[in-house]
Amino acid sequence: MSADPVLVERAGALLTLTLGSAWLWQASARERRAALETNAFIASGQAGAALFQLREYADRVQQAALDPSLTSLHESFSGEPQDSSKGVMLNPPDSLKRLSRD
């Protein structure tokens, strides 16, 4: 007894479609994974650059706060004497107070 040639042909076509679909799905998954890895690498670099920039800003603000001329200028506006060794002490805005862990 031999197999029906039409049935064999259809089974072969179905197998080919199934294997092709599986291969395409895996290729798509590999591309998504590669894209996510690339995005993570780029985001990490951007975060490092932002951190570096914030560190530079913090250093500049700290230097300005310790500047005696800025301390005396702050005293002239606030009327409160400042200990120049501590730098200029300003009251943070309400939004920063809410973010404080203290």
Torsion of CA 16, 22, 26, 27, to 10 degrees: 30
Tokens of 26: 């895996």
Please state, in angstroms and as integers, the Cα–Cα distance from residue 42 to each residue in 26, 53, 71, 94, following that order. 24, 17, 41, 35
Residue labelled with tokens 């809410």: 98
> pLDDT tens for residues 58-102?
888 888 878 888 777 777 776 666 565 555 555 555 554 444 454
Mean pLDDT, range 29-52, rounded to an integer: 94
> pLDDT tens for residues 19-28?
999 999 999 9
DSSP-assigned letters across all residues of 9-65: HHHHHHHHHHHHHHHHHHHHHHHHHHHHHHHHHHHHHHHHHHHHHHHHHHHHHHHHH
Cα–Cα distance between 37 and 48 in angstroms, integer?
17
Residue-range domain boundaries for the chain: 5-83
